[in-house]
A and B are shown apart, each in its own frame.
Chain A
Amino acid sequence: MEEVKLYGFGPSPFSYRVIWALKLKGVKYEYIEENLPMKSPKLLQHNPVHKKVPVLVHGGKPISESLVILEYIEETWPENPLLPKDAHEKAMARFWIRFAEDKYPTLNTFFRTVGQDQQLAIKEALKVLQILEDQALGNNKFFNGNTVGLVDISFGWLAYWFDCIEETAGAKIIKSNNLPRLHEWIKNFKQIPVIQENLPSRDKLLAYLKTKREKILSCIFIPNGH
């Protein structure tokens, strides 16, 4: 069997996407923690174009970009399938995975802003979350239906990181009364043993996010009078 290595970064939800997929399929791998922002020579060798984590190295060959890695894992280890078999349902799943990627910045803008800008960013985030609630999740337990799949994994950061981001930024966006089904999905997703056993320490994540937000806000131009 070819060796599997994963280069990741503790606070990064993108690294955890890959960890969850590997664990759900029972794939053994070696995890190498990168000490970002410093990047190891191996990481730069394996991902010369983007120089980012996560990178999966299978049998010496590197694959980068978390969503590309997820599809690779699904195709290479077909046990416990995480994508629907039906071509049209698979296309829908892939659409939502792309949506998760494309809307990630919109869902995070409130973390990088204050005051009126933050209020606007929260409104935009709510619009996206409403689409997830109504159209992606519908009445299903998971985005994939009765069991967890790649779409759930792609949105998985909403189940844990988002709450820490909300706390750090001083905002509460996903609540049981405004997004009840998404709120329920968060509970169900976190109860899956593989997910529960593979999450970063909440304290460490909050400390990391606090420092990050302070750095970001120190660069924001505050006009006279504030």
Chain B
Amino acid sequence: MAEVAVYGAWASPLSKRVEIVLKLKGVKYEVIEEDMSNPSVWLQNYSPILKTVPVLIHEGDPVVAPNVILEYIDETWTGNPIFPQNPKDRAKARFWIKFIDEKCVPAVMLACWGREMVQQMATQEAYNCLKALEDELRGKKFFGGNNVGAVDIAAIFIALWLGVIEEINGVKLLMHDQFPLLSRWVNDILSCSIIQETLPPRDQLITYLRTHNPNSFPSGT
């Protein structure tokens, strides 16, 4: 095995988060592709509690949980930091990553995939989350400022997966006139070459998510 390996899944936004950060820092790594519905014995061995992707293996030792992995990578390979240096700004970044994983993504998933009874409430919650992110982008090109940072990387779900699940379900949440800054951010982040080359192709993702239950995605632990 290479010095750095990632147990990942091509359709998982959490897996891709880890790959993007490694690429931004120029760290060479090997991907071991996992089937999310049937985790391998190796994955279960390295991640006995979560039993899910992504898992980073560095010098033979596993690091699990996507945001724990991000912090580990940033501290181990210090070039091109993705977290701010200042503790207050770093706390803000951690806050927004938590917000995206624990509030925004679940609300969006329910708004698109939930049963009618919950959909209306979830749609309002999704709008509130997107509005909070829109406000956070005011005066900035990226959530990280002039450069892509950890929050931008955590938000790639919105840049790609959101549009895909909107299309599959015939729902529109991220409307340009309501969220102009967030819409512009989506274009900007997808124009970054490293992110472009790491993310899965949109049409493949649409085909995959039409037939696979998105609730089988690991949650943002």
Contact = CB atoms under 8 A, between A and B. Distances in A.
A88 interface: yes
A102 B219 CA distance: 10
Contact of B71 (A63, A72, A94, A131): A94
B221 A98 contact: yes
A64 B92 CA distance: 9
A68 B49 contact: no
A147 B49 CA distance: 25
Interface string A48-91: 01000000001001011100110110011000000000011011
Contacts, number: 58
A49, A69, A71, A131, most chain B CB atoms within 10 A:
A49
B24 interface: no
Nearest to B72: A91
B10 interface: no
B64 A95 contact: yes
B38 to A, nearest CB: 22
B71 A64 contact: no
A69 B72 contact: no
A88 B63 contact: yes
A98 B61 CA distance: 19
Given A49-B99, A94-B71, A63 B88 contact: yes
A69 B49 contact: no
Contacts of A72: 87-88, 90-91
Given A49-B132, A87-B75, A95 B94 contact: no
B166 to A, nearest CB: 24
B131 to A, nearest CB: 10
Q: How large is the interface on B (under 10, 10 to 19, 20 to 34, 35 or more residues)?
A: 20 to 34
A102 B132 CA distance: 23
A87 B70 CA distance: 12
Contacts of B90: 71-72, 75
B65 A94 contact: yes
Contacts of B61: 88
B123 interface: no
A68 B71 contact: no
B168 to A, nearest CB: 28
Interface string B39-68: 000000000110000000010010111011
A87 B94 contact: no
Contacts of A63: 88, 91-92, 95
Nearest to B97: A68
B63 A91 contact: yes
A104 to B, nearest CB: 12
Interface of B: 48-49, 58, 61, 63-65, 67-69, 71-72, 75-76, 87-88, 90-92, 94-95, 98-99, 132, 221
Cβ-closest 6 pairs across A and B: A72-B91, A75-B87, A94-B68, A91-B72, A63-B91, A91-B63
Given A88-B61, A88-B72, 15 more contacts: A49-B99, A49-B132, A63-B88, A63-B91, A65-B94, A68-B94, A68-B98, A87-B76, A88-B63, A91-B63, A91-B71, A95-B65, A98-B67, A99-B221, A102-B221
